[in-house]
Amino acid sequence: MRLVLLGPPGAGKGTQGVLLAERYGIPQISTGDILRDHVQRGTRLGIQARSYMDRGEYVPDGVVVSMVMDRLEEPDADHGFILDGFPRTVAQAEALERALEETEEPLTAVLKFSVGGELAVRRLLGRYTCPTCGRTYHMEFKPPAEDEVCDVCGSTLERRADDDELTARRRLAVYREQASPLERFYAERDLLHQIDAEALPDEVVDRTMGVLEALP
Ligand code: AMP
């Protein structure tokens, strides 16, 4: 299973990616997570990427493409992968297509998670993650028992630096600029499937499994 997850920030790609990765036993590869890890470690790539991420803009294609190509060569991706947050531009999609043509292992499907803009913003502004155990929370939809404290390990929860309202709205606008050509690219290849993501995560996973099981 080689999947690409599309959809605006706040559509739930990360949540769906984790759940699908568990069900299929393949890695979820999130370019946002890899970039944040570089930023945290202060690598050259992280220093280069940070200014774009802080502004809610896309990191240049060349940087992201080579990062993903390296990741896809790791052995855990031999039997499939779930790409979350990549590709985001047609140039990235073309680079991925060329790489997969070389291995003769094309994409299985591209899943687009749809969610209205205001719900996406509410989801982004309320989300928190535990830096120790990785558990995710939401102030409104999935609050911890004690404010900003992880139920499981007691660590103080953190918000993503780019989840403030101004940057979240900029990220949505940047997404909208690139989304149509990217969706057309995959629709022309008969790979694009749209999934209504305005539901609880388990319901969205069931809808996604329904789409995947119906594939020829
Ligand atoms: P995400 O975690 O997917 O919301 O990504 C967070 C930020 O990382 C984005 O706002 C971009 O600045 C950057 N980023 C992640 N994936 C890509 C990509 N495929 N192309 C360009 N920038 C990306």
The 10s digit of each residue's pLDDT in 159-211 is 999 999 999 999 999 999 999 999 999 999 999 999 999 999 999 999 999 99
> Residue 193 and residue 211: Cα distance in Å, rounded?
8
In the chain, at which residue ranges do the beta strands (DSSP E only) sit?
2-6, 28-30, 81-84, 109-114, 127-129, 136-138, 192-196
Q: Give the pLDDT of residue 81.
A: 98
| 55 in active site | no
Give the residue from 175, 172, 154 showing the smallest Cα distance to 163. 172
The parent domain of residue 58 ranges over: 2-115+172-201
> Residue 188 and residue 132: Cα distance in Å, rounded?
43
Please report whether residue 18 resides in a domain: yes
**Spacing, Cα 107 to ligand 1 middle (Å):** 21
Please report whether residue 151 resides in a domain: no
What is the CATH classification number for the domain harbouring 99?
3.40.50.300
Residue of 31, 47, 54 best suited for mutating to test ligand 1, as the one with most atoms within 8 Å of CB: 31
Number of domains in the chain: 1
Residue of 30, 45, 53 best suited for mutating to test ligand 1, as the one with most atoms within 8 Å of CB: 53
Please report whether residue 139 resides in a domain: no
What letters, b where the CB count within 10 A reaches 16 and e where it falls short, cover 65-96? bebbeebbeeeebeebbbbbbbbbbebbbebb
The 10s digit of each residue's pLDDT in 95-138 is 999 999 998 999 999 999 999 999 999 999 999 999 999 899 99
The 10s digit of each residue's pLDDT in 35-46 is 999 999 999 999
Please report whether residue 209 resides in a domain: no
Please report whether residue 164 resides in a domain: no
Q: Give the pLDDT of residue 195.
A: 97
Atom of ligand 1 nearest to the CA of 86: 19
Please report whether residue 104 resides in a domain: yes
Catalytic hit among 50, 112, 122, 171: 171
Residue nearest to atom 11 of ligand 1 (CA): 58
Query: Given pLDDT bands bounded at 50, 70 and 90, which one contains residue 216?
Result: confident
| 171 in active site | yes
Report in angstroms the alpha-carbon separations of 94 from 19, 132, 182, 207: 27, 37, 10, 28
Mean pLDDT of 66-92: 96
Please report whether residue 210 resides in a domain: no
| 207 in active site | no
pTM score, whole prediction: 0.94
Please report whether residue 182 resides in a domain: yes
Q: Give the pLDDT of residue 155.
A: 97
Residue nearest to atom 1 of ligand 1 (CA): 32
Residue of 55, 57, 59 best suited for mutating to test ligand 1, as the one with most atoms within 8 Å of CB: 59
**Spacing, Cα 31 to ligand 1 middle (Å):** 6
**Spacing, Cα 146 to ligand 1 middle (Å):** 31
The 10s digit of each residue's pLDDT in 93-106 is 999 999 999 989 99
Residues enclosing ligand 1, CB less than 6 A? 9, 31-32, 35, 52-53, 56-59, 64, 85-86, 88, 92, 162, 171
